């Protein structure tokens, strides 16, 4: 996609769970080559919104367009093929297997829920293709020196980056990250931020849900703030940080 092209558009997205309105007429967009953060206090509706835009869940009303196409009703595999790829809030790795195998299996399983190696039956050519693609993405994210280490032996920050390598295998133009900095040490956050800047430099669009204000402020281009299912602010990080409604939402709750 051309720089600045709008890739993702959520239009008046509402998601109700019984009487609870988890997302109320939410609008947001992500353009090629930008990093957008979705922030807000616990229970604000961020994960629900993330599920709407990634096609994991379907809005009660409103729509989500990715490159002009409605995401509703598409399988995760179809969404991945359209160019949108996501990581999950909790690391999903096969700890005994190598970094390379984890990324290759992830690439193969992309879009399906199971990561059981038993399901990994491939012919030689397909296996070679997946391993080569996995190795390429591992190098891209800076984990080459750990290629043959057991995934479970990596530090949490490296495991998160491994998951990003996995997500990159489907060659997305939009990456969705659910709380990528959660639980990381300061230095690990710096390394992760460097990687996300590098990917942005390559034209990648990134939407991240994040609780960690400091991580977001130094990194992203734009911020959307949610509270009680609604958007309460949107803008540049330094603007949003000074917004009284945002301070109230974070400090008052
Ligand atoms: P956040 O990620 O910002 O912490 P969530 O999107 O997880 O917020 O949750 C927003 C609200 O929606 C919360 O009140 C939560 O309890 C409710 N909620 C989320 N998912 C479901 C669900 N599957 N069923 C019922 N309520 C839900
Ligand atoms: Mg959440």
For the chain, what are the domain ranges? Answer: 1-83+172-253, 96-167
Provide the H-helix boundaries in 58-98. Answer: 76-82
Q: How many CA atoms lie within 13 A of 51 on its CB side?
A: 15
The CATH number for 1-83+172-253, chosen from 1.10.1660.10, 3.40.50.300, 3.10.129.10, 3.40.50.720, is 3.40.50.300
Q: What is the pLDDT of residue 43?
A: 92
As a whole number, the mean pLDDT across the chain is 90
Q: What is d(CA 174, CA 194) in angstroms, rounded to the nearest whole number?
A: 17
| pLDDT 10s digits, 193-250 | 999 999 999 999 999 998 888 899 889 999 999 999 999 999 999 999 899 999 888 8
Report which of residues 26 and 116 the model is more confident about: 26
Tokens of 67: 């490159």
Residue whose CA is at the smallest distance from ligand 1 atom 16:
43
Q: What is the pLDDT of residue 121?
A: 63
Q: For ligand 1, what atom is nearest to the CA of residue 229?
A: 10
Residue whose CA is at the smallest distance from ligand 1 atom 15:
43
Q: What is the pLDDT of residue 118?
A: 47
User: For residue 39, which ligand has an atom nearest its CA?
Assistant: 1
Work out the number of other CB atoms within 10 angstroms of the CB of residue 185: 11
Q: For the residues 87-100, what does the mean pLDDT come to?
A: 84
Torsion angle, CA of 86/169/186/251, rounded to 10 degrees?
-10
Cα of 112 from ligand 2 centre, angstroms:
22
Q: For ligand 1, what atom is nearest to the CA of residue 49?
A: 6
User: For residue 178, which ligand has an atom nearest its CA?
Assistant: 2
Tokens of 37: 């953060």
Tokens of 214: 């400091």
| C-alpha closest to that of 29 among 42, 11, 41, 45 | 11
- The label of the residue with tokens 């953060």 reads 37
Out of 13, 21, 46, 48, give the residue to mutate to test ligand 1, the one with the largest number of ligand atoms within 8 Å of its CB.
48
| C-alpha closest to that of 24 among 48, 57, 56 | 48
Torsion angle, CA of 35/40/43/48, rounded to 10 degrees?
-20
Cα of 35 from ligand 2 centre, angstroms:
19
Q: How many CA atoms lie within 13 A of 212 on its CB side?
A: 19
- Per mean pLDDT, which range of 61-65, 89-93, 97-101, 187-191 is the poorest? 89-93
Provide the H-helix boundaries in the chain. Answer: 46-53, 76-82, 99-109, 124-140, 156-168, 186-201, 213-217, 237-242, 244-247
Tokens of 117: 């190696």
Residue whose CA is at the smallest distance from ligand 1 atom 17:
22
- The label of the residue with tokens 């595999």 reads 77
Q: Is the pLDDT of residue 87 over 50?
A: yes
Cα of 211 from ligand 1 centre, angstroms:
15
What's the N-to-C CA distance of the chain in angstroms? 40
| pLDDT 10s digits, 105-157 | 877 776 454 445 445 566 778 888 899 999 999 999 999 999 999 999 999 99
């Amino acid at each position: 996609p051309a720089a600045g092209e709008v890739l993702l558009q959520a239009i008046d997205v509402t998601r109700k769970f019984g009487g609870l309105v988890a997302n109320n007429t939410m609008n947001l967009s992500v353009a090629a080559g930008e990093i957008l953060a979705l922030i807000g206090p616990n229970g604000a509706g961020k994960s629900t919104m993330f599920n709407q835009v990634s096609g994991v869940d379907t809005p009660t009303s409103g729509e989500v367009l990715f490159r002009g196409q409605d995401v509703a009703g598409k399988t995760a595999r179809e969404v991945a093929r359209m160019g949108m790829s996501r990581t999950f809030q909790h690391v999903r790795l096969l700890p005994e297997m190598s970094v390379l195998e984890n990324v290759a299996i992830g690439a193969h399983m992309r879009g399906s829920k199971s990561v059981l190696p038993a399901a990994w039956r491939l012919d030689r050519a397909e296996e070679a293709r997946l391993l080569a693609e996995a190795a390429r993405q591992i190098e891209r994210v800076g984990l080459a020196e750990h290629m043959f280490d057991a995934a479970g032996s990596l530090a949490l920050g490296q495991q998160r980056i491994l998951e990003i390598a996995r997500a990159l295998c489907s060659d997305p133009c939009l990456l969705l990250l659910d709380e990528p900095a959660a639980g990381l040490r300061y230095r690990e956050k710096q390394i992760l931020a460097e990687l996300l800047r590098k990917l942005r430099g390559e034209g990648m669009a990134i939407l991240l849900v994040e609780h960690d204000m400091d991580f977001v402020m130094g990194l992203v281009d734009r911020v959307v703030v949610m509270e009680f299912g609604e958007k309460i602010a949107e803008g540049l990080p330094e603007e949003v940080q000074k917004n009284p409604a945002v301070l109230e939402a974070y400090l008052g709750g």
